[in-house]
Amino acid sequence: MLDPAGRVVMVSGASRGVGRAVMERLIAAGYVVSAGVREARGIQPGPAVMTSRYAAEDVASAKAWVAATIARFGRIDGVVCAAGINPMARLVDEDETAFDAQWLVNVKGPMRLVRLAWPHLAAGGEGRVVTIASLSGRRVANDNLGYAMSKFCVVALTQAIRREGWEAGIRATAICPGFVATDMTRHVTSFRRERMSRPEDIAALVETAMRLPNTATVGEIGVNCRFEALA
């Protein structure tokens, strides 16, 4: 297992939900975290954490965040792509605004962030990328086609990162949960909230993926809070 001491991890969407839980888990484990947020929301900067404004649809903010992380810590050892949105985007919707928004935030956001951090991830020979995908990136089980399409793309992105970064020691894992009890699922009435996965559960899996050595990495993790037959 990799020693987290001194390793710097960028976490997008760190102001709330899964991103916030990941940030807190990694700091507690001994990582240094650069938190990409739209709003700081009570995050206290310190020796082990810095915040930078980050809007996933804005490539300029991604560039500024990577530059600020390097200026502060001098290295980037990992990237966790947790920022995401899920407005309803149905197949029959003529208005494609929600589809376009999910493409920018859920797909191009993590792609751009990893691309910008790439030389730093490769430099240490043990770079790590974890994407927060979804079981919706493995099957389509509801009307939100836009979200499913975007998360299928995130899984493909993760596979491409693994392929292109393998020789440089970059390893990537897509974590694919079902319902997680965050603001993103407050509208869900078809499944009891107390039975959903917790953000802290997902954060524990992120830490595990971050600590696995180059010789024993996991490309994809499906996370169920209810029974689903395995494909």
Q: CA distances (Å), 206 to each of 70, 71, 93, 209, in order? A: 22, 25, 35, 5
Report the alpha-carbon distance of residue 41 to residue 228 in Å, rounded. Answer: 36
First to last CA, the chain: 29
Is 228 within 8 Å of 135 (Cβ atoms)?
Answer: yes
The Cα 49–Cα 27 span in angstroms is 8
Which residues have a catalytic role annotated?
Answer: 147
Q: How far apart are CA 72 and CA 49, in angstroms?
A: 10
CA-CA distance, 102 to 108, in Å (whole number)? 9
